Structure 1
Amino acid sequence: MSKLVIIGNGVSGVTVARHVRKRSDMEILIISAETEHFFSRTALMYIFMGHMKYEHTKPYEDHFWAKNRIDLKQGFVEDINTNDKVLTLASGESVDYDQLVLATGSQSNKFGWPGQDLPGVQTLFSYQDLALMEENSKLTKHAVLVGGGLIGVEMAEMLLSRGIEVTFLVREDRFWGNILPNGEAQLIQKHAEIHGIKFHFKTELKEIKAGSNGRVSSVITSTGEEIACDMVGLSAGVHPNIGVAQKGDIPVGRGILVNDFLETQVPEVYAVGDCAEIEVVDGRNRIEPLWYTGKMQGEALAKTIAGERTKYERGVWFNSAKFFDIEYQTYGFVFNEPLDGISSFYWQHPEQDICLRINYKDDTQEVTGVNTFGIRMRHNVWENWLANGCTLKYVLENLRDANFDPEFFNRYEKDIVAAFNQQHPDNQLKLAPLRWLTKRFTKGHANA
């Protein structure tokens, strides 16, 4: 019987295992050094804040794995011999395979800062990082966070829940400035400041200094300022975890190089999720460190492994997150700076932290992307609108169809359309009544 071994038990690797089992009776083994059972990594902050327990973050009961004949092994893979198809674990144990999936995820970025490995300095990515944060927070009154990414936002909310003062060092001139346009960035910044966060923009970390007890005592910034602190959180992004692939002579770039079928250049070795770098014929190779795309990749790869060779097709780009009390969604592409040939309609509530931005082509008026903060949107509606080239006029007039907020939430479509009409007096729109959401969207709507 063929044997599939998967290194990594995050959403990508586990999705491969589950969907291969649906299609095949082959032997399946998942190896992870982090935890025995798969858990929701995005829920780490809620464990820390007391909203959940670890067992609540496991999507499947512990008996699920044996019931579905998916074997689990907790251990660290030290080496891969792709010629003999053998893995060597840190314990010295050898594991053979017929097909191998690398789902080794990401690692937090460190840039060689002096003092970056001092006690009291940490990242937040693994279950072990969560345990370390529990210990560090006991000794912390003031924390400095480096980098304005989503991991940093989570760390800030976690620390604030324990009454710990938080200061952010942000390289850009605004919060999340490499992702968000100025309007959204200002909204989130003000919201975070209301929650107690202090920002230092256009500021980078230069050095982390230790106190007499050997723990972190302050940071020195690129501006020369010294900020006293008891903890430093490194949240300056992540990069693919490719160490074990390199040991196995599996070709890598920034990530583990794969084609559109998630196949590496070594026969019967695949990579999926955060660690995979999808080679592109024209343009820059893609690395997609998102939960959603990792799951989609896992489903596509499972078909290939089970004998139905399937190309991974991402479809419309999307992402979501939460900034304290504000839900964020994005579909398509909304860049942080203006682009030639692309215009932007932006609406912001005058009193609440709620906004919407829609980008569209100047020539055809086709919508290219949307950002929403504080308004929950329907994925399938926006996916259809973007895939079918719907115009700004059509999208705004039918905006009610996309709203996914619960029944008693306020709705803002009338205000949004009114704002557009005020900004464009020669191009007045009228909000359409809510249609049945099951109605199909066709190319004909694009020029409506």
Structure 2
Amino acid sequence: MEHIVIIGNGISGVTLARHIRKLSDKRITIVSAETDYFFSRTALMYVYMGHMKFEHTQPYENWFWQKNRIELLRGYVHEIDTDNKVIKINERDALAYDKLVIATGSKPNKFGWPGQDLEGVQGLYSKQDLDALEKNAPNNDICKRAVIVGGGLIGIELAEMLNSRNIPVTFLVRESSFWNGVLPKGESAMINRHIENHHIDLRLSTNLKAINADENGKVKSVIIEETGEELACDLVGLTAGVTPNIDFLKSSKIETGRGVKVNRYLETNIPDVYAIGDCAEQHEAIGNRRPIEAVWYTGRMMGETLAQTLCGNRIQYKPGHWFNSAKFLDIEYQTYGWVFGERGRPDYEKHFHWKHEDDTKCITVAYHKDTNEFLGINTFGIRMRHEIFDTWLTEKRDVDYVMNHLSKANFDPEFYSHYEADILSAYNNQLQTA
């Protein structure tokens, strides 16, 4: 019986295993050093905030795996011998495979800051990180101030988590405005104000120079690069992005760049070895998509796609139109298609921006300045329907059509009706002054 070994029990690896089992009777083994069972990584923050217990983050009961004949092996893979089709686990055990899938996800970036490995310095990615946070910041008596380094989505999650326990937070963001490499100017500025309104000390255009230790080897302060200021703190959250978790592949023959290099079929340079999820790096561009996408739903899609290939129906990975969602404290964010930030925006891309007077809701619509083709939309504080925008992008609708039918895409038309007239009026005014 063909044996498929999957390294990593995140969303991509587990989706792959489930779909292989639906399609075949192949032997399946998942190897992971993080946890015994798959859990929803995006739910970790809600465990810390008290909205759920860790067991509630596990979508499947523990009996699910045995019933579906998916073997779970707890251990760390430290070597892959592709010549003999063997992986080595925990520096002693060996496991043979017929097909191998690397789905090891990401790890937090570290940039060589002095003190970055001290006790009390951590990321927010794994179950181990959640456990460390409970130890390092259980309350505002133990943790009198936290410093977060890096202004991305994980950083804003960590800020919200600490805020929920009334732990004061200083947020060091290298950019001149929050997440302005992704968000257009108006949206980024709104999020700056929203962070500050939650009593978070937001420091823009600010870099970390070093992390200082106390006499017990625990973090006691950070030094700001630009001013030399010393900030006392008990926790440093490193949230300056993630990078593929592939260090264990360095001695193998598997080709790597930033991630594991794969083609459109998610195949590596070695026969019978594949990579999916955050750790996979596309050889050739897929439209405007980045070579590495550390996004939950693309990991799931890669798992579904590769399951078909491994079960005899070899198909390309086709992720479709870009979509993502997140939360900035209590403001929900969704993006469909392409809406570029200030950096890297194509010359042809024009924006319509509307913001509600309460400063917590806005939309930005991107369209082609010559053809008026609808290119994408960002929404903040207004929930939209994925399938509607997906259809409009496929049909290449023009921006006038989208704006005049925006209520069809809204998740809650009654709620949206409060803003529809204002949005259309602002759009028509922009057309007249353009």
Alpha carbons 1:240, 1:254 under 8 Å: kept: yes
- 1:274-423 correspondence runs (5 A): 274-280=278-284, 286-337=291-342, 338-405=345-412, 411-423=418-430
- 1:196-211 correspondence runs (5 A): 196-211=199-214
Distance in 2 (alpha carbons) for counterparts of 1:281 and 1:354: 33
TM-score scaled by length of structure 2: 0.95
- For structure 1, the 5+ residue unaligned runs are 428-448
Equivalent residue for 2:196? 193
Decide whether aligned partners of structure 1 residues 248 and 406 sit closer, same or farther in structure 2, where only a CA change above 3 A counts.
farther
Question: Structure 1, residues 250-300: CA drift from partner, whole Å, max 9, x if none?
Answer: 110110000000000100000000000011169996111100100111110
Letter in 1 for 2:181: N
Distance in 2 (alpha carbons) for counterparts of 1:379 and 1:308: 28
Of structures 1 and 2, the one with the larger relative CO (CA 8 A, separation 6+) is: 2
Residue 277 (structure 2) pairs with residue 273 (structure 1): yes
Moved more, 1-10 or 381-390: 381-390
Equivalent residue for 2:222? 219
SS in structure 1 of the partner of residue 183 of structure 2: coil
Distance in 1 (alpha carbons) for counterparts of 2:112 and 2:51: 35
Query: How many residues end up aligned between the 2 structures?
Result: 427
Alpha carbons 1:109, 1:235 under 8 Å: kept: yes
Question: Structure 1, residues 137-191: CA drift from partner, whole Å, max 9, x if none?
Answer: 0321101100001111111111111111001111110011211111111111111
Moved more, 212-221 or 117-126: 212-221
- 1:54-133 correspondence runs (5 A): 54-90=54-90, 92-133=92-133
Equivalent residue for 1:46? 46
Distance in 2 (alpha carbons) for counterparts of 1:412 and 1:108: 39
Distance in 2 (alpha carbons) for counterparts of 1:411 and 1:281: 41
Letter in 2 for 1:321: A
Equivalent residue for 2:33? 33
TM-score scaled by length of structure 1: 0.92
Moved more, 300-309 or 412-421: 412-421
Moved more, 349-358 or 127-136: 349-358
SS in structure 2 of the partner of residue 322 of structure 1: strand
SS in structure 1 of the partner of residue 250 of structure 2: helix
Q: Tell me by how many angstroms 1:339 deviates.
A: 3.2
Distance in 2 (alpha carbons) for counterparts of 1:285 and 1:238: 14
Q: Tell me by how many angstroms 1:248 deviates.
A: 2.4
Alpha carbons 2:407, 2:416 under 8 Å: kept: no
Decide whether aligned partners of structure 1 residues 91 and 253 sit closer, same or farther in structure 2, where only a CA change above 3 A counts.
closer
Indicate the RMSD between aligned Cα atoms, in angstroms.
1.6
Question: Structure 1, residues 64-99: CA drift from partner, whole Å, max 9, x if none?
Answer: 111111111111111111111111111511111100
Question: Structure 1, residues 390-429: CA drift from partner, whole Å, max 9, x if none?
Answer: 11100001101110138667642222111112223389xx
Distance in 2 (alpha carbons) for counterparts of 1:34 and 1:61: 18
Equivalent residue for 2:135? 135
Decide whether aligned partners of structure 1 residues 155 and 13 sit closer, same or farther in structure 2, where only a CA change above 3 A counts.
same
- For structure 2, the 5+ residue unaligned runs are none
- 1:155-174 correspondence runs (5 A): 155-174=158-177
Distance in 2 (alpha carbons) for counterparts of 1:222 and 1:101: 42
SS in structure 2 of the partner of residue 202 of structure 1: coil
Letter in 2 for 1:51: H
Alpha carbons 1:146, 1:234 under 8 Å: kept: yes
Letter in 2 for 1:360: Y
Taking only the aligned residue pairs, the percentage that are identical comes to 56
Distance in 2 (alpha carbons) for counterparts of 1:255 and 1:87: 19
Decide whether aligned partners of structure 1 residues 325 and 282 sit closer, same or farther in structure 2, where only a CA change above 3 A counts.
closer
Moved more, 239-248 or 259-268: 239-248
